[in-house]
Amino acid sequence: MSRTFFEKRKSGIPRERAHNFRSSAPDSFLILTEGTKTEPGYFNGIKQYIEQKFKQGQIEIRPAICCEGAGCSTGRLLEEAEKYVSRGNKVYQHVWLVFDRDNFVDFDDAICRAEAKGYRIAWSNVCFELWLCLHHNYYDAGALAHEWSSRVNAITGLDHAHKTDEAIKLFPMLSANGGLQKAVKNARKLDKQYDESLLPSQRNPCTKVYELILELKPYLEELLPDE
């Protein structure tokens, strides 16, 4: 894919389908992830956190959050999103796709195609574990996926990649003591170091997960006081 094509996509992403996600109901989020354990575990941890706040009367409106791990390649994740949106009974106001670069050759193309359909993309290069590590420290040197995963294990002591019940502990553990605020700050700083002309596949390390977190900020304000 040419850089010129990607720049055109960034400068004018069509939002003609965005109205299909609109609803008069409270905010509703569909978060589809490439992985089946770490990513859905993390976001379902956020869902549980928000639901607990609602039960305790800390927020008046509980957003509808559906997070599913598709367990498919980057290219096929877009197809799965189309199925969820078209066959579901719920109209989602926000549709996010969460996927990694890893070794997928269709990474840049998948981002462009998804954005053209009005979806939001929380991509990571090379993997989602980079986002998790940014809760702990700032990193600007590239590493392999298994190295990022090992760092997460060292930070948390959890076998997040293989056990679903461990992955769901990631959010409460990492977001405590200013961890979520630190992750957003670090990810934003990392993102801004790259020239906008670079393709996502050329930005290593980098993650856009912080943009999804900021969209959930109304329900996480105490964890993101300065954002």
Q: What is the pLDDT of residues 146-170, one digit of tens each?
A: 999 999 999 999 988 778 888 999 9
Q: Which of 9-13, 84-88, 139-143, 190-194 has the lowest mean pLDDT?
A: 9-13
- What's the pTM? 0.87
Residues 29-52 pLDDT 10s: 999 998 899 999 999 999 999 999
End-to-end CA gap in the chain: 34
Q: Is the pLDDT reported for residue 172 higher than 90?
A: yes
Q: Is the pLDDT reported for residue 18 higher than 50?
A: no
User: How many domains are contained in the chain?
Assistant: 1
**Is residue 226 in a domain?**
no
Q: What is the pLDDT of residue 25?
A: 52
Domain region containing 104: 3-221
Nearest to 131 by CA among 213, 24, 26: 213
Q: What is the pLDDT of residue 26?
A: 64
**Is residue 227 in a domain?**
no
**Is residue 83 in a domain?**
yes
Q: By the 8 A CB rule, do 75 and 107 touch? A: no
pLDDT-derived band at 75, boundaries 50, 70, 90 = confident
Q: What percent of the chain has pLDDT over 70?
A: 87
Q: How far apart are CA 90 and CA 65, in angstroms?
A: 11
Residues 85-118 pLDDT 10s: 787 667 888 999 999 998 677 899 989 999 998 9
**Is residue 157 in a domain?**
yes
Q: How far apart are CA 54 and CA 62, in angstroms?
A: 6
**Can you state the angle between helices 107-116 and 3-11, rounded to 10 degrees?**
30
Q: Where are the alpha helices (DSSP H) in 29-116?
A: 38-55, 74-87, 107-116
Going from the C-alpha of 112 to that of each of 3, 11, 200, 201, 227, the distances in angstroms are 11, 12, 10, 12, 28
Q: Is the pLDDT reported for residue 15 higher than 50?
A: no
pLDDT-derived band at 24, boundaries 50, 70, 90 = very low
Q: How far apart are CA 209 and CA 148, in angstroms?
A: 15
Q: Which residue has the higher pLDDT, 197 or 24?
A: 197
Going from the C-alpha of 147 to that of each of 133, 155, 160, 186, the distances in angstroms are 11, 12, 14, 19
Write out the two tokens for 78. 């877009």
| Exposed / middle / buried, residue 73 (Cβ in 10 Å: 0-12, 13-18, 19+) | middle
Going from the C-alpha of 219 to that of each of 88, 91, 105, 112, 117, the distances in angstroms are 25, 20, 36, 29, 27
